[in-house]
Amino acid sequence: MSSLNNKQILLGVTGGIAAYKSAELIRRLQDFGASVRVVMTPAAQEFITPLTLQALSGNPVHTQMLDPEAEAAMGHIELARWADLVLIAPATADFIARLVQGQGNDLLTTLCLASDAPMAIAPAMNQAMWRTESTQSNISTLTQRKVAIFGPASGSQACGDVGPGRMLEASDIALAAEKLFTPGTLAGKKLVITAGPTREAIDPVRYISNHSSGKMGYAIAQAAIEAGASCTLISGPTNIEPPRGAKVINVTSALDMHTASLSEAEQSDIFIASAAVADYRPLAIAEQKIKKANSDTMTIELTKNPDIVADVAAMKNKPFTVGFAAETQDLESYAKDKLKRKNLDLIVANDVSRTDIGFNSDNNAVSVFGPASTDIFSECSKHQLARLLIDLIAQKMPGH
């Protein structure tokens, strides 16, 4: 499986004749499993149309800094947060100079300033422009700033010159991008993760549940696979496509998830309980649909569900056990209490009272508590956060 699988790549296209190669590059990145969104400079649109790149990427192409519809939700910041990699191909001499200077006078340069994601450029220009002292100085500066430089290649150019400056072929750029993401931190490990909500039946048509979308758990499963782990995903009801390579066990209720978790955890190295499991279930499930009564109230007697993560952590040969704490107040104190009380190795705590992160959002921000450690991860996409969490777990495991 490619290390680009499920990665989110923001492809910046600037104004050079090599812009036609960007269409092929989108395809090659998608072949590796990446999702691609495109940002074009005004000059790039003179060489290839946004409609072409929209059709190939399957996503709207972004061309304007001041797009009223997108900016109503601070669209350029959302794009910057979305990206796992910012890739500029082709990168003209003019764009490279503006990038070095830290300019933010169009959408693409602003995104480069606003994103914390790794950045790579594929230079494309006339051989004389490439060789000039100013361009080489700019390339040296970007290299010092940890910007990856893909190419350029040498050969005949559109202007008739021969020499360095040609943009690499799309397949070579995709391979270079793949090498920026190195899997292997959990190679050979077996990881089990729970995700999504549970549904506790009241009668054949009604149930008790919660707002969990499963996005965080599925992202962690993907990150674990990328890190080389064998992954079992025990999932409550969601509308998400599971990551390729995961063994998926679909469950509905907390009791179903409990049974599957204890069975799978026995042979696992890591157990991550990210599911939002119902604390209680109806004591009795009506065999037929409960009809509306004359009374304005209805009473349902509930009984406590088993504590999945605590039961896994109590196993004789327990795996490295990571819990989640979704809280609306006193985040740190509640999380640390669960960590100790349930005998966990780590607990990931997030504030679900915030409407911009957590349940149903594509972003999250968490604090991770261990017996003698605290790690804080600021807001980013759940896929980015998942990789950070997997790296942290790999570091905290015994023997690291």
Report whether pLDDT(72) > 50.
Answer: no
Q: What pLDDT was estimated at residue 393?
A: 96
275 and 335 part of one domain: yes
118 and 98 part of one domain: yes
262 and 355 part of one domain: yes
Q: What pLDDT was estimated at residue 157?
A: 67
4: phi then psi, degrees, rounded to nearest 5: -90, -5
* The dihedral sign for the CA sequence 32, 36, 42, 46: positive
Tell me, yes or no, whether 109 lies in a domain: yes
CATH of the domain at 361: 3.40.50.10300
Q: What is the mean pLDDT of the chain?
A: 90
Q: What pLDDT was estimated at residue 281?
A: 96
Q: What pLDDT was estimated at residue 75?
A: 56
Poorest-pLDDT segment among 183-187, 218-222, 298-302: 183-187
The per-residue pLDDT for range 316-347, each reduced to its tens digit, is: 999 999 999 988 788 889 999 999 999 999 99
208 and 130 part of one domain: no
Number of domains in the chain: 2
Q: Within its chain, how far is the Cα of 45 from the centroid? A: 29
Report whether pLDDT(228) > 70.
Answer: yes
Tokens of 373: 């450690």
Tell me, yes or no, whether 221 lies in a domain: yes
Q: Percentage of the chain surpassing pLDDT 90?
A: 67
Report whether pLDDT(76) > 70.
Answer: no
222 and 359 part of one domain: yes
Instruction: Calculate mean pLDDT across residues 252-267.
Output: 97
166 and 200 part of one domain: no
Tell me, yes or no, whether 2 lies in a domain: no
Q: What pLDDT was estimated at residue 71?
A: 46
Task: Note down the domain range covering 213.
Answer: 190-396
Tell me, yes or no, whether 56 lies in a domain: yes
Buried b (16+ CB within 10 A) or exposed e, 249-264: bebbbbebbbbbbeeb
**Last residue of a domain, which of 133, 154, 178?**
178
130 and 278 part of one domain: no
Report whether pLDDT(85) > 50.
Answer: yes
**Dist CA 173 CA 33 (whole Å):** 15
Please state the three-class secondary structure of the chain as a single string. CCCCCCCEEEEEECCCHHHHHHHHHHHHHHHCCCEEEEEECCCHHHCCCHHHHHHHHCCCCECCCCCHHHHCCCHHHHHHHHCCEEEEEEECHHHHHHHHHCCCCCHHHHHHHHCCCCEEEEECCCHHHHHCHHHHHHHHHHHHCCCEECCCEEEECCCCCEEEEECCCHHHHHHHHHCCCCCCCCCCCEEEEEECECCEECCCCCEECCCCCCHHHHHHHHHHHHCCCEEEEEECCCCCCCCCCCEEEECCCHHHHHHHHHHHHCCCCEEEECCECCCEEECCCCCCCCCCCCCCCCCCCEEECCCHHHHHHCCCCCCEEEEEEEECCCHHHHHHHHHHHCCCCEEEEEECCCCCCCCCCCEEEEEEEECCEEEEEEEEEHHHHHHHHHHHHHHHCCCC
Report whether pLDDT(175) > 60.
Answer: yes
Q: Percentage of the chain surpassing pLDDT 70?
A: 94
Tell me, yes or no, whether 217 lies in a domain: yes
Q: What pLDDT was estimated at residue 245?
A: 79
Report whether pLDDT(257) > 80.
Answer: yes
Tell me, yes or no, whether 184 lies in a domain: no
Q: What pLDDT was estimated at residue 40?
A: 95
Report whether pLDDT(244) > 60.
Answer: yes
Q: What pLDDT was estimated at residue 120?
A: 97
CATH of the domain at 13: 3.40.50.1950
Tell me, yes or no, whether 183 lies in a domain: no
Is 159 considered catalytic here? yes
216 and 361 part of one domain: yes
243 and 153 part of one domain: no
Instruction: Calculate mean pLDDT across residues 68-86.
Output: 70
Residue pair 13/39 in contact (Cβ under 8 Å)? The answer is yes
Q: What pLDDT was estimated at residue 29?
A: 95
Q: How confident is the model at residue 391 (pLDDT cuts 50, 70, 90)?
A: very high
133 and 154 part of one domain: yes
216 and 126 part of one domain: no
**Dist CA 175 CA 283 (whole Å):** 56
Instruction: Calculate mean pLDDT across residues 63-82.
Output: 66
Tell me, yes or no, whether 368 lies in a domain: yes
The per-residue pLDDT for range 7-39, each reduced to its tens digit, is: 889 999 999 899 999 999 999 999 988 899 999
Catalytic one among 112, 159, 231, 380? 159
Poorest-pLDDT segment among 121-130, 176-185, 343-352: 176-185
168 and 38 part of one domain: yes
